[in-house]
Chains A and B, each alone.
Chain A
Amino acid sequence: MVNISSLWQYLALQSPLQSMSGEQFNITKMGLTTYSLPQLPYAYDALEPHISAQIMQLHHSKHHQAYVTNLNKALESHVAAVAANDIASQIALQQAIKFNGGGHINHSLFWKNLAPAGSDETSLSAAKDLVTAIESTWGSFDNFKKTFSAILLSIQGSGWGWLVREGGQQGGLRIVTTKDQDPVVGGDIVIFGVDMWEHAYYLQYLNGKAAYVENIWNVINWKTAGERFLGTSSSDNMPEL
């Protein structure tokens, strides 16, 4: 279970990261942070042929936007409920905050850990320390890839698979899954994530999710992954929980 107060903290701490790219949030007069859809760091068709432009466009401009919109709505209602001392409404809103907040966090992490196939970012040499740690944890990079892929395919329903650094910047590597839009919490640092909701692949791969999983490896941004591993990521300084 996700600890709601951790998520709160997470969402609150997201502001400095969001300010990196300009108008990512606004402080309203009530002091409430509103979130906005981050721009993709590449064009919608940049991940072709592995992820189609149509998928990317819907995924970003519709799905991710809906999480942002509904997160803002839920937070606004929550502020009103706090002001009204209405505990029952505050509790009722927590699930919507967790789901939509998680959706916003997860997709923000996901876009940044993808890059066009064949670019410098997708080369393993962009993440030497991370690759060494992966090899020492799983015996070989191939074995890691196989293990991670099998775990992605074993997810029942909607969810995500993640490579994380367990417990913080000194922790070991681990593969975890989260259901629906539950974000990774509890101090684990996300290295990279893969969206296993059907909307992430269906228009192109239909029921063939194994092919999606196989192809996603071509567009993993190892530069971002390596920086998250070392804690030197400047582009998305996701705070620890």
Chain B
Amino acid sequence: MSSTLLRTVPALRGAVRASGALKPASALASTSFVRSKATLPDLPYDYGALEPYISGKIMELHHKKHHQTYVNGLNSALDTIAEAESKGDFTKAASMAPLLNFHGGGHLNHSLFWENLAAASREGGGEPDGALKKAIDSDFGSFDNFRKQMNTALAGIQGSGWAWLVKDKTSGTLGLVTRANQDPVTGPYAPLMGIDAWEHAYYLQYENRKAEYFDAIWNVINWKTVASRFDKA
């Protein structure tokens, strides 16, 4: 399961970067010009695994329909760009940047999201320990403080978007960022943990009561995944 992710995510990072530079993602692919298609990664758990905090129906639609739409949109944007490039039509290729950002970001964000969630009966919930806990305590004062700040950031998103715990790769410090729509986390920030604040992520279960969703999701955060991202970043 996670091998699917590992295959698609690096290809995607290349693709997202290509939106600026208009270069094929071939630098990252082992076989030079055969561009691999992004594919929908399997969830590392069942659709019902995050109940009662996130309903099975939400998970199924979110993964099978919404995420799939981003995967399809990304592949179609990449096809259009490759075709335009092959004809030397760089204006056309460049005009695809917003779609590439939206669908590429949607694919990347959801891939990261699924992996930083887990069933409450398994790795989900609780609090981080070790080096990650230390970093959170030193950069946010305490875990409780961090949680409060993250929920405030989520509640403050006006429209669709995401909130992320990030590590600034230049300073090594942790921070919180929000991103509109499907804008991916880039630049000096390594995304460690993301929460989807689009209405589709909670509406069937929580309707307009999004604060309840933002409270509930802490029961299914996979701190093991977050810690391993922290160690690698």
Which residues of A come within 8 Å of B, CB atoms?
Answer: 58, 62-63, 66, 95, 99, 156-159, 179-181, 197-199, 202-203, 206-207
Rounded to whole angstroms, the CA-CA distance of A179 and B69 in the bound complex is 21
B98→A203 contact, CB < 8 A: no
Q: Mark B61-99, 1 if CB is under 8 A from A, else 0.
A: 100011001000000000000000000000000000010
Please list the residues of chain B having a beta carbon within 8 angstroms of any beta carbon in chain A. 61, 65-66, 69, 98, 102, 158-161, 180-182, 198-200, 203-204, 207-208
Q: Is the beta-carbon distance between B161 and A202 smaller than 8 angstroms?
A: no
How many whole Å from A186's CB to the nearest CB in chain B?
20
Give 17 pairs: A residue, B residue, CB < 8 Å, sorted on A.
A58-B207, A58-B208, A63-B208, A99-B158, A156-B102, A157-B180, A157-B198, A159-B159, A180-B158, A198-B198, A198-B200, A198-B203, A199-B208, A202-B204, A203-B204, A207-B61, A207-B200
A-B contact count (CB 8 A): 53
Complex Cα–Cα for A99 and B180 (A): 14
Expressed in whole angstroms, the minimum distance between the Cβ of B97 and any Cβ of chain A is 12
Write the chain A residue with the least CB distance to B99. A156
Assess whether B208 is in contact with A156, with CB atoms less than 8 Å apart: no
Residues of B contacting A179 in the complex (Cβ-Cβ under 8 angstroms): 159
> In the complex, are the beta carbons of B203 and A202 less than 8 A apart?
yes
Measured between alpha carbons, how far is A234 from B158 in the docked complex, in Å? 32
Asked if B69 contacts A207 (CB within 8 A), the reply is: yes
**CA gap between A203 and B69 in the complex, in Å:** 19
CB pair A202–B160 under 8 Å, yes or no, is: no
Most buried by B among A63, A156, A179: A156
Chain A nearest Cβ from B112, distance in angstroms: 18
- Measured between alpha carbons, how far is A119 from B205 in the docked complex, in Å? 34
Give Cα distance in the complex from A28 to B153, angstroms: 32
Question: Contact at B203–A199, with CB atoms within 8 Å?
Answer: yes
How near does chain B come to A227, taking the closest CB pair, in angstroms? 30
Which residues of B have CB within 8 Å of A199?
Answer: 199, 203, 208
Residues of A within 8 A of B181 (CB): 156-157
Partner of A66, one of B102, B160, B180, B208: B208
A207-B204 Cα distance, complex, nearest whole Å: 11
When the two chains form the complex, which single residue of A62, A181, A197 contacts B199, counting CB atoms closer than 8 Å? Answer: A197
Highest count of chain A CB atoms <10 Å: which of B66, B102, B161, B181: B181
- A156-B181, A198-B203, A202-B199 known; A62-B69 Cβ under 8 A: no
Residue of A nearest to B181 (CB): A157
Residue of B69, B98, B159 most packed against chain A (CB within 10 A): B159
Q: How far is the CA of A198 from the CA of B203 in the complex (A)?
A: 8
Within the complex, the shortest CB–CB distance from A212 to chain B, in Å, comes to 13
- Give the nearest-CB partner of B199 in chain A: A198
Report A-chain residues with C-beta under 8 Å of the C-beta of B203: 198-199, 202-203
Verify B200–A62 contact, CB threshold 8 A. no
Contact A181 B208 (CB under 8 A): no
| Interchain CB contact under 8 A, A206 and B65 | yes
CB neighbours of B199 from chain A (8 A): 158, 197-199, 202
Assess the A206–B102 pair: CB atoms within 8 A: no
Of B69, B98, B204, B207, chain A has the most CB atoms within 10 Å of the CB of B207
Tell me, in angstroms, the Cα distance from A199 to B208 when the chains sit together. 8
Find A157's partner among B61, B69, B182, B207 (CB 8 Å cutoff).
B182
- CA distance in complex: A215, B61 (Å): 21
**Are A180 and B65 in contact (CB-based, < 8 A)?**
no
Specify which chain B residues have a CB less than 8 angstroms from the CB of A62 in the assembled complex.
207-208
Q: Give the residues in chain B near A180, CB-CB below 8 Å.
A: 158-159
Cα-based distance from A180 to B160 in the complex (angstroms): 8
Given contacts A62-B208, A207-B65, contact A158 B160 (CB under 8 A): yes
CB distance from B197 to the nearest CB of A (A): 10
Distance (whole angstroms) from the CB of A229 to the closest CB of chain B:
29
Q: Please, how many angstroms separate the alpha-carbon atoms of A202 and B207 in the complex? A: 9
A23 to B3, CA, bound (A): 61
